[in-house]
Amino acid sequence: MSQHPEYEKWQELATKLMKGKPLDSLDWQTPEGIKVKPLYTAEDIEGLECANTLPGLAPYVRGPMATMYAGRAWTIRQYAGFSTAKESNEFYRKALAAGQKGLSVAFDLATHRGYDSDHPRVTGDVGKAGVAIDSVEDMKILFDGIPLDKMSVSMTMNGAVIPILASYIVAAEEQGVAHEQLTGTIQNDILKEYLTRNTFIYPPTPSMRIVSDIIGFCSKNMPRYNTISISGYHMMEAGANSVLQVAFTMADGLEYVRTALNAGMDIDEFAPRLSFFFGIGMNFFMDIAMLRAARLLWHNLMQQFNPKNPRSAMLRTHCQTSGWSLTEQDPYNNVIRTTLEALTSVLGGTQSLHTNSFDEAIGLPTDFSARIARNTQIIIQEESEVCHVIDPLGGSYYVESLTNSIVDSAMKIINEVEELGGMAKAIESGMPKMRIEESAARKQARIDQGLDVIVGVNKYQLKDEKIDFEVREVPASVRDDQVARINQIRETRDQAAVDAALTEITRISKEGGNLLEAALPAMRARATVGEVSDAMEKVFGRFVANTRCISGAYASEFASDSESLLHLRQRTENFLKNHGRRPRMLVTKMGQDGHDRGIKVIASAYADIGFDVDIGPLFQTPEEAAKMAIENDVHVVGASSLTAGHKTLVPGLVEELKKQGGEDIKVVAGGIIPPKDYDYLFERGVQAVFGPGTSVIDSANRTLDLIEAAA
């Protein structure tokens, strides 16, 4: 195609308006490394595979269904769960009555990690970031009055996926619902847990066997059920840019396909029930193009397996708006952020969507904020009139070109993973995790300098106005209620039947067989989630992740003469000169929360500034963190909390330091901590609290102030 006949005329006009600046100064280099021009023309999409395609037909760039939302709108599927099964059930019923179309269950971290609510390691986690499920009895309460033969249920579960899915199946049986009637999705995506979220239990090899067993059982017995939701969302939340998110998600998908094939399954037996899950951030067009690119990539990658059923190469996805993009500062801005991200998901062609609540940077969402989040989708669906046209951005010079750029960039990373032997081997090498952590550190550095604008955080800050609103708080009594129910179950069940079923699970774990099938008798007999998990752990063991700190990524985003960075580096050098060692910090996450973006960014940035930084292993107790802090002779402990355990775990750390003789060690806290709880923490010995959006530069200066004052 020849150049647009008037392109030179446009170029001349545009150059005049630049007033001496070169026209290419308008080019934007995205965090993904993609150059975005200020103008796109038909020339930019000439010959592209992604351009001029049709919805419902390979390669599915414009959507997996021929009519998309013109025929049926996406499913409004809000992710929710907290406290007890009874409270969550009441919340679900209200949401369904208000227009929600499907359920997406959030489990608490104790459940994710395969611990019963009475386990000593989960004192600060029960019911806090999701609903506590200890047995079939909890699952029955969770879905009381909700017919499981008619309701599509998505469950975000990976670590304890065997007992949780078995509990759901048994709860449905006791509603009179046959296996083949069940519809929905189990996440069952363990690979990304080793990269980002860390709610694993077992090492990778037996965990992949569990994935295969679930795919095998459900393919035969639950043909309407999606056996895996291959998730990029948690990669995005951990810091992955859009290219990294789509590349590693596709690579994970390939690994699962090969695992199922190696287990003897036919590609068309299971591939049509694979689904995906992407996170949507604030780069509007980038993430629209990412979803279109993902469908093209998956179709093309699946051709190597010679599927006969077109649905085997058809990518269907759920999306969720970004939690990380929400801010504590000026939080009502989050309503606008979520709306834009929701529209991105819709214009990108998602099949279902969760919209985050505006208060989730501060605490658990309330009924009020959840209603706004849900209505955001309903208003887009019912009032915006966007559903009448299939893929309205198809044919956009910019969107089609950007889609192609993402495909090309992602394929380079996918090929890199393949050269390492696939995603499991790549994870063992540490490559994907380090790439994501580097991306997160660079992002934070750009925000701290104001290069990436966050309204209300690093630009247009509120000066005098204080915003205060209700934040949901889960009382400590929730754990007491769960423990009481567990005790009642154990007193009334047939213990011999439970023991026999658990012994059989251990045998099958060792000798082979389908673990999901083996778990069903145990859950029917009222074994607990923790007992079933332990029965497998006897053979598989419990996985412990290595914690490493990248270096240089944060500082590399600063100019060599950056005053703020140089000032901090001078302060740490002065401390070294005056005290014979550098300021030393331990960063830790206590409890069962494995979301480690925050501590990894802090550790990397503080190391670049000149601190000596130790990173505690995940899932420490306050006692273990205090012991490590004393043994490492640190000046300060930085405790991160994202899941409402701050009122239990952080004061517990302060007390343990006193008990163990480390009362001189300062404790600072960061993460999602409601401002109303700051005084509670200060009264219990916490020296500073750094909420979401706090600049690393600011937090490092304040931390140095504390260390120097005590030196």
Q: State the CB neighbour count (10 A cutoff) for residue 43.
A: 13
3-state secondary structure of 280: strand
pLDDT at 123 over 80: yes
Specify the residue for token string 């790439």.
Answer: 435
Query: Which two three-digit tokens encode residue 265?
Result: 């399954």
Catalytic residue among 69, 115, 225, 233: 233
Q: Which residues of 176-196 are buried (b: 16+ CB within 10 A; e: fewer)?
A: ebebebbbbbbbbbbbbbbbb
Catalytic residue among 252, 452, 534, 593: 593
* Known catalytic membership, residue 138: no
Full 3-state SS string of 102-163: EEEECECHHHHCCCCCCCHHHCCCCCCCCECCCCHHHHHHHCCCCCCCCCCEEECCCCCHHH
pLDDT at 568 over 60: yes
* Known catalytic membership, residue 593: yes
* Known catalytic membership, residue 79: yes
Residue 309's pLDDT band (cuts 50, 70, 90): very high
Question: What is the Cα Rg of the chain in Å?
Answer: 26
Catalytic residue among 192, 354, 443, 589: 589
Residue 638's pLDDT band (cuts 50, 70, 90): very high
pLDDT at 55 over 70: yes
pLDDT at 547 over 90: no
Query: Please, which residues have CB within 8 angstroms of residue 231's CB and are 6 or more apart in sequence?
Result: 187, 189, 192, 249, 252, 276, 277, 278
Least confident of 21-35, 87-101, 110-124, 577-591: 87-101
pLDDT of residue 550: 83
pLDDT of residue 476: 79
* Known catalytic membership, residue 646: no
Please provide the DSSP assignment of 555-588 as one string: HHTS-TT-HHHHHHHHHHHHHHHHHSS--EEEEE
Taking the chain, what is the end-to-end CA distance rounded to the nearest angstrom?
70
pLDDT of residue 363: 81
Cis peptide before 59 (omega within 30 of 0): yes
pLDDT of residue 559: 87
Residue 1's pLDDT band (cuts 50, 70, 90): low
Query: Which two three-digit tokens encode residue 267?
Result: 């590609």
pLDDT of residue 691: 86
Q: What is the pTM of this model?
A: 0.92
Catalytic residue among 595, 635, 646, 647: 595
* Known catalytic membership, residue 150: no
pLDDT at 222 over 80: yes
Give the C-alpha distances (Å, rounded to integers) separating 399 from 218, 319, 349, 579, 677. 37, 19, 13, 56, 45
Q: Residue 12 gets which letter from DSSP?
A: H
Contact present, 260 and 215 (Cβ < 8 Å): yes
Higher pLDDT: 596 or 161? It is: 161
* Known catalytic membership, residue 60: no
Percent of the chain scoring above 70 in pLDDT? 99
Catalytic residue among 112, 234, 433, 646: 234
Contact present, 117 and 126 (Cβ < 8 Å): yes
Q: Residue 27 gets which letter from DSSP?
A: -
The one-letter code for the residue type at 228 is I
Q: Where are the beta strands (DSSP E) in 590-701?
A: 612-615, 636-641, 666-671, 688-690
Query: Which two three-digit tokens encode residue 105?
Result: 């269950």
Please provide the DSSP assignment of 480-501 as one string: HHHHHHHHHHHHHS-HHHHHHH
Catalytic residue among 60, 79, 168, 225: 79
Q: State the CB neighbour count (10 A cutoff) for residue 153.
A: 22
Q: pLDDT tens digit string along 455-512?
A: 999 999 888 767 777 777 777 788 999 999 999 999 999 999 999 999 999 999 999 9
Helix, strand, coil shares, percent, the chain, to 5:
55, 10, 35
Mean pLDDT of the chain: 93
pLDDT at 69 over 70: yes
